[in-house]
Amino acid sequence: MNVSSTIGVLALQGAFAAHLDLLTSLDVVGRPVRLPSDLEGLDGLILPGGESTTMSNLLRSYDLLGPLSEFISAGHPVFGTCAGMILLSDRILDGRADQIALKSIDIVVRRNGYGRQVDSFETDIDVDGFDSAFHAVFIRAPRIEEVGPDVDVLARHEGVPVLVRQGTVMAASFHPELTNDDRIHRLFADMVRDASSSGVTSRDQVR
């Protein structure tokens, strides 16, 4: 029996709609996540771009912080893009003192780290395992300043990591949902399928 995965997209704020559209175009069921109960039965989750300080506030007011941390520590794959990457990081430079770093991936990020004159830019990047370049859109993007020893760097821009993975957690400083190229979402969907087939449950896998 071939059961398709269900991947949630945190839909409190920001660029969640395009992620849901992309998931629908793959063999994946996409579900917007606004309430703790929306996490039930999900195989993976995307934290989209937007505004990381606003998302932090909303995670608290929607009582999602605890359930989200549990979901991630249970070993369910998560993918954070841009503001979502800031949320997943270990430490945030130039952030607001009260904003959330879930410490789910061993990276240090600088909020708006690409500076003012290049607030937003587009560029082609080489991604590990892809046979042609991926067009990456950066919007007031966070810059990865440090990566821990267990983090795999899957792509760089001018030497700086822009797509990274540690176990079941992947993070991108750009917006992969804004082009018609679905290869990064397919990569994540494969991570989700692999985790589901290896039988990840909150009982037997604690990171």
What residue ranges bind ligand GLN (CB under 6 A)? 49-52, 82-83, 86, 111-112, 139-140
Q: Active site residue: 82, 122, 146, 158, which one?
A: 82
Active site residue 82: yes
Nearer of residues 171 and 200 to ligand GLN, judged by Cβ = 171
Choose the catalytic residue: 19, 76, 157, 177: 177
Rounded to the nearest whole angstrom, what is the least distance from the CB of residue 165 to ligand GLN in the complex?
Answer: 19
Residues 27 and 150: their CA atoms lie apart, in Å, by: 30
Active site residue 19: no
Closer Cβ to ligand GLN, 10 or 195, answer by number: 10
Strands (E), 97-202: 105-110, 120-125, 134-139, 143-147, 152-157, 160-166, 169-172
Nearer to ligand GLN among residue 72 and residue 171 (C-beta): 171
Contact between 62 and 34 (Cβ < 8 Å): yes
Closest approach of Cβ 32 to ligand GLN, in Å? Answer: 17
Residues in the chain: 207
CB contact at 8 A, 87 and 102: yes
Catalytic status, residue 70: no
Residue placing its CB nearer to ligand GLN in the complex, 69 or 112: 112
CB of 87 to ligand GLN, least distance (A): 8
Nearest one of 166, 18, 16 to 89, comparing CA atoms: 166
Distance of alpha carbon 185 from alpha carbon 166, whole angstroms: 16
What residues are labeled active site? 82, 175, 177
